[in-house]
Amino acid sequence: MSGITISVNGKSFSVDVDAYTPLLWVFRDVLGLTGTKFGCGMGVCGSCTVIVDGQATRSCITPVSAVAGKEITTIEGLSPDGSHPLQKAWLEERVTQCGYCQPGQIMTAAALLGQNPKPSHQEILDAMSPVLCRCGTYQRILKAVERVAQENAS
């Protein structure tokens, strides 16, 4: 065990866990940030997606030691009050059903728009398709991301 310093949502934390501990469990079990979800544990469903230095990152397969010194953003840090354009678009398009995968969907979309504020339809599909939703909210997620992309374009 050694103290590892990570920066999450603009705050610095020293966590005393095994260096290989996936970031997901550091958020959930150590920092109490439960917005980031477990879905598969092998990086194939995307529910655990957070943003590390601007990149969409699967926190369930990312060792905490690999992100020391990097800027990490979770769903709780996307905006202070739910006012991020994607969060507003998610409400406008009535995207959510059970809601469990949605933090991973929103963080994936936020990483995409951070790198490419005006993505094409195909670019949105390419970025979002690896993130699974069992409730089948895809059509509405697509509309919500396109809504923000169009706002950015105008």
Partner 1 sequence: MSAHPALSRRDFLKVTYTTGAGLMIAFALPGCSKEASNGPAPTPTSTLLPALKGPDALTPNVFVTIGHDGLVSVTVPRSEMGQGVRTAFAMILAEELDADWKSIRVKQADADPVFGDQHTGGSASISGSYMTLRLAGATARSLLISAAAKVWGVARAICTAENGMVIRSDTGAKLSFGYLVPLAATLPLPNPIGTSLKDPKKFHIVGTRMASVDTTDIVTGHARFGMDIRLPGMLHAVVAHNPTIDGTISHFDAAKAMQVPGVRKIVPLDTGVAVVGDTTWSAMQGRQALTVTYEDGPTADYSSHREEQLMLQTAFVKPGARELVQYYVVPFLSHAPMEPMNCVADVRADRCDVWVSSQDPPTFKDSAEEAAGTSITNLHVPLIGGGFGRRLQIGPVDYVAEAVHVSKAVGAPIKLFWTREEDIQHEYYHPLSVTMVRADLGDISTLQLNRSESSAVPAGAWRSVENVPEAFAHECFVDEFAHATKQDPVQLRREFVESRGLTVINLAAEKAGWGTPLPAGHGRGIAYHATWDVTHVAQVAEVSVDHGGNVRVHRVVCAVDCGVVVNPDSVEAQMESGIIFGMTAALKSSLSFEKGRVQQSNFHDYPLLRMDEAPVIEVYIVPSQEDPSGVGEMSNPVIMPAVANAVFAATGVRVRRVPILPKTILAG
User: Nearest approach, Cβ of 31 to partner 1 (angstroms)?
Assistant: 11
DSSP conformation class of 119: -
- Residue 140 near residue 95 (C-beta atoms within 8 A): yes
Side chain identity at 109, as an amino acid letter? A
Decide if 109 contacts 145 (C-beta within 8 A): yes
Question: Considering beta carbons, is residue 10 or 32 the nearer one to partner 1?
Answer: 32
To partner 1, the closest distance from the beta carbon of 137 in angstroms equals 7
Q: Which is nearer to partner 1, 114 or 125 (CB)?
A: 125
Q: Of 7 and 43, which has the nearer Cβ to partner 1? A: 43
Residues that bind partner 1 (CB under 8 A): 1, 17-18, 21-22, 25, 28-30, 32-42, 44-45, 47, 74-76, 78-79, 82, 87, 90-91, 94-103, 106, 125-126, 128-142
Place of tokens 């993130």: 131
Q: How far is the CB of 53 from partner 1 (least distance, A)?
A: 20
> What does the radius of gyration of the chain's CA atoms come to, in whole angstroms?
15
Least distance (Å) from partner 1 to the CB of residue 62? 12
The torsion angles phi and psi of 14, rounded to 5 degrees, stand at -105, 120
Phi (first) and psi of residue 125, to 5 degrees: -60, -45
